Structure 1
Amino acid sequence: MLKWLFGEIHFKFQGSEVERFLNLAFSRQVDLREVKYTTDGLTFKTSLKNFRQVKTIGKKVGGKTKVIAKEGAWFWWKKVLKRPGIIAGLFLLLGIIYSLTGFIWFIEIDGFSGRQREILDILKARKVKPFVRKKAVDEKMLKREILAQMPEISWVGIEKKGVRLIITGKMREESYRQKYKKADIVAKRDGIIKEILVFRGSLRVKPGQKVTAGEVLISGVDERGKAIVAEGTVKAVTWYKKKVQVPLREERLVPTGQESSLVKLFFGKKEITLKKPPKGFALAIMVEKRYKLSLGRKFAVPIELYKVTYREVKRKVRKLTLEEGAQKAYNLALEELKKEVDMKQITYMDKSVRSLGDAVEVVVKAQALEDIGQILGIQED
């Protein structure tokens, strides 16, 4: 790639002193590539910086050097510079592409349990449509608008990605108004309040406040003191920590390719051994299969073929490098993290690695922005 970028020249050398030409070139550390002998000399390629040296060596040995072709970005650019129209067109094209990336071309809606049409109507009311300027789309305001008009949504994510506007969301799994006669929204984990949207109930916290798991965020009491089912979303900055240790000695079972099998035929309660395993293995994986003879759903024939295949395996121990062990531990930590939080909601992640001699320890710390509210209420009788 670098050779093409800085330019490459294809030469033809004509003369009888071919070996002398090559010896001089190599002694002066001239890089010759793709050297091919011809009837009257040879052809080769070299970089642009060796042009003068090749010409000088050719004259010294009484030969003739001729440029066959010039390749690479350097020569292409020199040709372009002679044609200002191409340069102007290139910059115009780049300008058009750059300006087009400032617009939303596509709107993708994922989730919402088949209610994407309602989301599109909200977007249309806010004049958010294909080919609108990116700067005209306020993600936070749009998110509040969707949640305000559709309180049955549990969370909404809006992201500008290239020329796409991606909107993801999830509906509440059940109607809490029918299930409870009074319910609060409480914190399911510790965090610092970032965004609040209340549909029903009395707000008990404010942005920037630190809350702990179980603390009431929105109380299930209205302004008259009547018990209700609180509804709303409370997004907070939360933290996760996963620690995983992986031994650097990895043991695996590897098939040797050797197999033996046992085959039996059953007639009702009678059993006939058709094939016995010729030998036993010290360590093997057993695979069982049963084949029943049938003449349809109503006619069951009491004949069954039973086959067991023994596949020999052996233990193979491999010593992992520190990097391999760290990567394996990191992948396991991510899997554990995915069980607790949607990876799309993670805003920051940090990884630390520590060698333990015969093992490696990886600690993954993550920060997320998520809805920490969960319903806690008294069920209807």
Structure 2
Amino acid sequence: MKTLLDYFLGYVIITIRGKGIERFINLAVQRGIRMWDISWMKDGSVRAKVQLSGIKALRHVARKSHCRFRIGQRQGLPFWVKFFQKRKMLAAGAIFFVLSLYELSSFAFSVQVTSPEPLKIVNEQMIKRLAEEKGIKPGRPKWLMDFKAAEKYLIKEVPQLTWVNISAQGTRLCINVVEKVMPEPDEKNNKSGNIIALKDGIITEILVMKGEPLVTSGDTVSQGQVLISGIITIQEEFPLEEEPLGKVEKVKADGIVRARVWYRGYGECPLVESGKTNTGKKAQSIKLQWGKRGVVIWGSAAPEFEYYISDTNRRKLTLWRNITLPVEIITTTCWEQEVYKTVRSQEDAWQKAVNAALLAARRQVPAQAKIISRQLKPVEEGVPGLKRAYVILETEEDIGKFISIE
């Protein structure tokens, strides 16, 4: 820490000659002049480093100790400032170079798809195309990219992926993916097991292709109950025996089991609703901060919006590889909001509550299920100024699910 402080304050390397060098050093220490890296040379002189602020006081020390010193090298920030003050064009060029280097390092120039194992199902070009739809593409600033949103989008759009991670390595974007491990066809087909109920319901139809049925049409079943057993008994008859012997065999149960299933949904809507909503306008600012100090280099420190929500992104300033400066770039995005108040009639609020309840119920219904009937029940007015609805959807669907026998 002292070395960094000495660099900012500036220091010089001096060579001391004379008969009273020891007295020179003692007097300097007594006056609080910091000297370090003191070394004796072969010719009897002494070389040492001294803070820039102590040079003037050393002149009096040299006269009292009958020594003389000569300034050799000059090191530190003050000397660089003085150097560039005389060469303003060179200073402007250096600042422009550093800013250009930083600006270029904030852009992504390539996108790479990697995986621990070679991809067998998913195409790399498809992953890059889907990532580009969420803004993950070359030639775009990295601080404008939402890696988490892109990861969720890839998982949603590509069911064959089980894990996605997007990271920035310098100017390169790496999309790390892991494919789902699919069982081999032979291995899957050779497993014996049962057909169980995926959910509660009342059986309407059962078609057994292989296995032994344990339920019939009209039975009420619960989730996890065995519908078609994969354990069957083969009767073997012998003429000399009174009763046939049963041989137990495990097979892969197969069949279709259709049942009536009910789904419930709840919805509500207030007669008077107020709150805040986004207008679509936004303001952005970029702030350069070191320690407790900072300066806004782009945009406004405070948005002109009366109501707004904000999102802040902090990033350390990196010159090259792992060299990080104690400076942060803070990007703040503010979205304008406006206050609204909506007054609804009794009929309008009731219809919106019904639609919300229907939407909540239909989200639970599988795509292959057939909706048979819909039952609408108003909820008793327990909260003033609020309409509530309760919907029950009756469907007919295949509730059978194969599960292997351990």
Task: Report which of the two structures shows the higher radius of gyration computed on alpha carbons.
Answer: 2
| TM-score normalized by the length of structure 1 | 0.43
| TM-score normalized by the length of structure 2 | 0.41
